[in-house]
Amino acid sequence: MKKMVGAIMGLIALILSGCGMFMSEDDALKKTKEVSETAFSEEDVKSNTDALGFTLYLPDSMEISDESKSNLIIAEGDQTFILFYNSMEERTSKLNYESASKVEDNILLEAFEDDDRFGYVRILPINEQDKYELQVGVGGVKITTYTEKSDLPDDAEKMMKIANSIAYTE
């Protein structure tokens, strides 16, 4: 009986660890950096949504809930993403990155660059346990959300794909 209980507990722990429930902060940061860089490298992210003055890619699970001259509020369930864009900044602009680098509490700030673009990912801890502010940017576009440690990699990947897909139409 003890062996069976031990086996069941081991199986539950294995399943939960596979879901990211037991991911360490270091592992979450490393994975977030990796997926952000991979998503940044994807150059052909196809736009599927129209906004004021530009098009962008949004995953099927997301929708624009509010729009203004330089911001989009994007919702995915009860999570909110704020997209800020400055069409006057080139895709190689480091302005948002330089602003993010002035914050002292960053636990991750990583930049990515190629000939045509400059991007970054930044993570700040929030006072709540296992909650973080995640910001991803490409040129004059930055997207920010609050998320949990286990969701950092997935959210960073989606956000980088969105930031990477912005195509101005005006």
Residue 14 has pLDDT above 60, yes or no: no
Give per-residue pLDDT as tens, 71-103. 999 999 999 999 999 989 999 999 999 999 998
With cut-offs at 50, 70 and 90, classify the pLDDT of residue 125.
very high
**pLDDT tens-digit series, residues 127-153:** 877 899 999 999 999 999 999 999 999
Cα gap 107→45, rounded to integer Å: 28
Domains annotated on the chain, with CATH: 23-168 (3.40.1000)
Q: Report the Cα 79 to chain-centroid distance in Å.
A: 12
| Vertex 118 angle, CA 74 and 45, to 5° | 50
The 8 Å CB, 24+ separation contacts for 49-53 are 53/87, 53/168, 53/169, 53/170
Of all residues in the chain, what percent carry a pLDDT higher than 90? 68
Name residue 55's beta-bridge partners. 50, 167
Amino acid of residue 140: G
